[in-house]
Homo-oligomer: A and B are copies of this chain.
């Protein structure tokens, strides 16, 4: 037996031990049916022969894959990368496998990926939708099939689906209010596209703070755009070209890359960050812990989000969680850069 190029099967172990393959199967899974002695022997042999269960076969017959599908718009983005990291962490600890797919912000891909994941019979689906996702039919299909579904961060309007999001509105509000209290009145918002909840909510938080303190909003300083460095660059240049003698003194940027792009553009035209313009951006406070940065941060709890997402999904799968859809909202934290405070106070 034990042919080369032919993975060991239950049958091989059964034959070697002169028992049936059912005994082997049960022993390997610590089924109470089997005596401790037998279980022991089976496990030892399995180890020795390098047995690897065939997940395909197991899934086919057990209707459980211990696999969770993940659909993310983009991976080369620290925010998502960090969330993914923590989901993987949690999955690893719980002996689950994650199948990650990347939609590249294209709803067509998103749909195809979801179909693939369903085809692979994942036990559950965690999705962060693309910027263009409008057609919710596919999610309804997931729902109908009884596959647990959870939206994270970006969530379309769907009543019966659970979600875990970040309180972007409050994050933006706090960031702006901080600036106002510091005495700034010329305030800009380089935000995301508003067809998505994160862009919308942050814009709303911005407006709310401005209105609350009766600070006039300069429409030229409210810019809709993407999340990349080049978007920040373009946003600043737009403001600069519009009126180079009237620039904001405080900017809320949608992401760290956008803040960097703003910085680069400012440098190019001879404006200094942070002494001429103070910037707060949404992002992760990793570096900031060790050293001052030139920006303030609206810290997003990505690790917590990932962990919560996984735990919630497991509860859904195991049926131990509540049946009612739940919408969890995580708080952000405003991290002020003391270097900036010293310089500009």
Residues in A lying within 8 Å of B, measured CB to CB: 4-5, 7, 50, 52-57, 59-60, 65, 74-78, 81-82, 84-85, 88-89, 92, 97-102, 104, 109, 112, 115-116, 118-121, 141, 144-146, 228-230, 233-234, 257, 260-261, 264-265, 267-268, 286-287, 289-294, 339
Tell me if A115 and B52 are in contact (CB < 8 A): yes
Which 10 residue pairs spanning A and B have beta carbons closest together? A76-B81, A230-B290, A229-B287, A233-B291, A56-B59, A5-B146, A56-B60, A56-B56, A55-B120, A55-B119
Contact residue among B56, B85, B265 (Cβ-Cβ distance under 8 Å from A76): B85
Contact residue among B55, B98, B109, B265 (Cβ-Cβ distance under 8 Å from A291): B265
A77-B81, A97-B99, A99-B100 known; 10 other A-B pairs, CB under 8 Å? A50-B141, A56-B59, A76-B78, A76-B84, A92-B109, A100-B100, A230-B286, A257-B287, A264-B291, A268-B291
| Shortest beta-carbon distance from A255 to chain B in Å | 13
Tell me if B104 and A89 are in contact (CB < 8 A): yes
Give CA–CA (A194, B291) in the complex, Å.
Answer: 25
A-B contact pairs, 21 of them (CB 8 A): A5-B145, A7-B145, A54-B60, A54-B119, A54-B121, A56-B56, A60-B60, A74-B85, A75-B81, A76-B85, A77-B81, A92-B109, A92-B112, A98-B101, A99-B99, A228-B286, A230-B287, A230-B290, A260-B260, A264-B294, A268-B291
Tell me if B56 and A121 are in contact (CB < 8 A): yes
Contact residue among B75, B99, B141 (Cβ-Cβ distance under 8 Å from A84): B75
Give CA–CA (A4, B77) in the complex, Å.
Answer: 38
Give CA–CA (A305, B325) in the complex, Å.
Answer: 43
Give CA–CA (A80, B322) in the complex, Å.
Answer: 38
Give CA–CA (A234, B287) in the complex, Å.
Answer: 11
Q: What B residues does A100 contact at CB under 8 A?
A: 98-100
Tell me if B82 and A76 are in contact (CB < 8 A): yes
Q: A5-B146, A121-B55 are in contact. Are A261 and B141 (CB under 8 A)?
A: no
Q: What B residues does A265 contact at CB under 8 A?
A: 291
User: In chain B, what residue has the closest Cβ to A96?
Assistant: B116
Give CA–CA (A79, B84) in the complex, Å.
Answer: 16
Give CA–CA (A52, B82) in the complex, Å.
Answer: 32
Q: What B residues does A65 contact at CB under 8 A?
A: 56
Give CA–CA (A264, B257) in the complex, Å.
Answer: 15
User: In chain B, what residue has the closest Cβ to A287?
Assistant: B229
Tell me if A85 and B102 are in contact (CB < 8 A): yes
Give CA–CA (A146, B7) in the complex, Å.
Answer: 10
Give CA–CA (A80, B76) in the complex, Å.
Answer: 8
Give CA–CA (A112, B268) in the complex, Å.
Answer: 49
Tell me if B233 and A261 are in contact (CB < 8 A): no
| Shortest beta-carbon distance from A343 to chain B in Å | 10
User: In chain B, what residue has the closest Cβ to A106?
Assistant: B92
User: In chain B, what residue has the closest Cβ to A339?
Assistant: B268
Q: What B residues does A141 contact at CB under 8 A?
A: 50
Q: What B residues does A289 contact at CB under 8 A?
A: 230
Most chain B C-beta atoms within 10 Å of own C-beta, residue among A7, A52, A115, A121: A52
